[in-house]
Structure 1
Amino acid sequence: MDFVGAWNRLFTAFPPGVLLAMSVIGVAIVIVFLAIWAIKGRKGSGISMKDFPWTMTIIGAALMGPQILVPAVLLLLQALVIIVVGLITWGTGLIA
């Protein structure tokens, strides 16, 4: 079971530089705006979630999604499926 490999094969149609550039820009957007939010929180009355840069975090996540986030989520899902299948196999082995 290889969820990540299938996802990577799906994106071979895109030039590799485009996806890498999108990922770098997305990570940079998230890091910069989280740093700005944290610095403003230290200088002001503290960090609050009402001032959190949700829009820029979502835009950054969407940009880095195809290259970073989706493979990470698929890797976790793949591990979960392997664990569940192992537990089912183990459980049916005990019953039989």
Structure 2
Amino acid sequence: MGIRTAKPNPEIPSLSVTIMTGKAEGLLIAMRPMRMAQILGENVRKVRLERGMTLESLAIEVGLAYSYMGGIERGQKNPTLAVVERIAEALNVEPVLLLTPNAG
């Protein structure tokens, strides 16, 4: 059984695909977890600071606990899409901007 690893796509720095082929039936695709939480956190922090907002003021406006908002910025929390939309609204940006690598 051979193992081939696809080269990472620079547009999606956190995606790595390994395809195992050979006598085994079908393909096994293993993907590294996406860094979406880290990307979101970095972008939220960057935009928040550009807007001159404190972490506490953003948390209050979004309706989240200060500690949870801090966890989002550190990439330690995985908020729902509804929460991402509320954060984007509070920062006056499109949600996709917060989820795009190197975009915030």
TM-score, normalization by structure 1: 0.28
CA radius of gyration, larger in? 1
More helix by share: 1
